[in-house]
Amino acid sequence: MTQSNCRVAGQGAYLPERVLTNADISAFVDTSDEWIRARTGISERRIADDSQNTSDLGYEAAKIALADAGLDADDIDLIVVATTTPDLVFPATAALIQDRLGMRHGAAFDVQAVCSGFIYALAVADGLLKGGVFNRALVIGAETMSRILDWEDRSTCVLFGDGAGAWILEKTDDNAAGLLGYDLRCEGRFTPLLKTTGGVSSTRTSGYLRMEGPAVFKHAVTKISNSMARLLEREEIEIDEIDWFVPHQANQRILEGVADKLKISREKVVSTVARHGNTSAASVPLAFHQAVLDGRIQRGHLCLLEALGGGLTWGSALVRF
Ligand code: UT7
Residues 78 and 196 in one domain: no
CA distance 89 to 74: 27
Confidence at residue 1, expressed as pLDDT on a 0 to 100 scale: 46
Would you say residue 124 lies in a domain? yes
Say yes or no: 190 and 291 in one domain: yes
| C-alpha 162 to ligand 1 mean position (Å) | 20
Answer yes or no: is 1 within a domain: no
The torsion angles phi and psi of 176, rounded to 5 degrees, stand at -100, 5
Whether 134 and 250 map to the same domain: the answer is: no
Query: Do both 161 and 12 map to the same domain?
Result: yes
Q: Which of 168, 167, 162 is nearest to 15 (CA)?
A: 162
Mutate to test the pocket of ligand 1, among 150, 187, 217, 314 (most ligand atoms within 8 A of CB): 217
Please name the residue whose Cα sits nearest to atom 8 of ligand 1.
217
Is the distance from CB of 276 to CB of 165 less than 8 angstroms? Answer: no
Q: How many domains does the chain have?
A: 2
Ligand 1 neighbours by CB, cut-off 6 Å: 31, 35-36, 39-40, 115, 154-155, 158, 213-214, 216-217, 220, 250-251, 254, 278, 308-309
Looking at the fold, whether 241 and 159 belong to one and the same domain comes out as no
Q: Which of 45, 54, 90 is nearest to 274 (CA)?
A: 45
Cα atoms found within 13 Å of the Cα of residue 18, Cβ hemisphere only: 13
Same domain, 141 and 211: no
* Whether residues 19 and 125 fall in one domain: yes
* Ligand 1: centre distance to CA 194 (Å): 13
pLDDT for 133: 86
Q: Kindly state whether residues 42 and 100 are assigned to the same domain.
A: yes
CATH number at residue 91: 3.40.47.10
DSSP string of 102-129?
T--SSEEEEE--GGGHHHHHHHHHHHHH
As a whole number of angstroms, the longest Cα–Cα distance in the chain is 62
Domain termination residue (choose one: 171, 202, 218):
171
The last residue of one of the domains, among 155, 171, 187, is: 171
pLDDT tens digits in sequence order for the chain, 321 residues long: 456 899 999 999 999 999 999 999 999 999 999 999 999 999 999 999 999 999 999 999 999 999 999 999 999 999 999 999 999 999 999 999 999 999 999 999 999 999 999 999 999 999 999 999 899 999 999 999 999 999 999 999 999 999 999 999 999 988 889 999 999 999 999 999 999 999 999 999 999 999 999 999 999 999 999 999 999 999 999 999 999 999 999 999 999 999 999 999 999 999 999 999 999 999 999 999 999 999 999 999 999 999 999 999 999 999 999
Of 66, 80, 137, the residue nearest 111 (C-alpha):
80
State the residue range of the domain holding 284.
178-320
Report pLDDT for 192.
98
- Residues 134, 198 share a domain: no
Q: Report the distance separating Cα 182 and Cα 304, nearest Å.
A: 10
Count of CB atoms situated within 10 Å of the CB of 300: 10
Judgement on whether residues 133 and 224 belong to the same structural domain of the protein: no
158 and 193 in one domain? Answer: no
Q: Which of 43, 120, 155 to mutate to test the pocket of ligand 1 (most atoms within 8 A of CB)?
A: 155
CB 280 within 8 A of CB 114: yes
Q: What pLDDT score does 308 carry?
A: 98
- The half-sphere exposure of 130 on its side-chain side, counting CA atoms within 13 A, is 20
Residue from 6, 278, 289, 303 carrying the catalytic annotation: 278
Question: Which of the listed residues 171, 193, 208 is the one where a domain comes to its end?
Answer: 171
Nearest CA to ligand 1 atom 18: 39
The answer to whether residue 248 is domain-embedded is yes
Task: Judge whether 158 lies within some domain.
Answer: yes
What per-residue confidence (pLDDT) applies to 2? 52
Residues 183 and 167 reside in one and the same domain: no
| Count of alpha carbons within 13 angstroms of residue 28, beta-carbon side | 10
Q: Do 164 and 13 form a contact (C-beta atoms < 8 A)?
A: yes
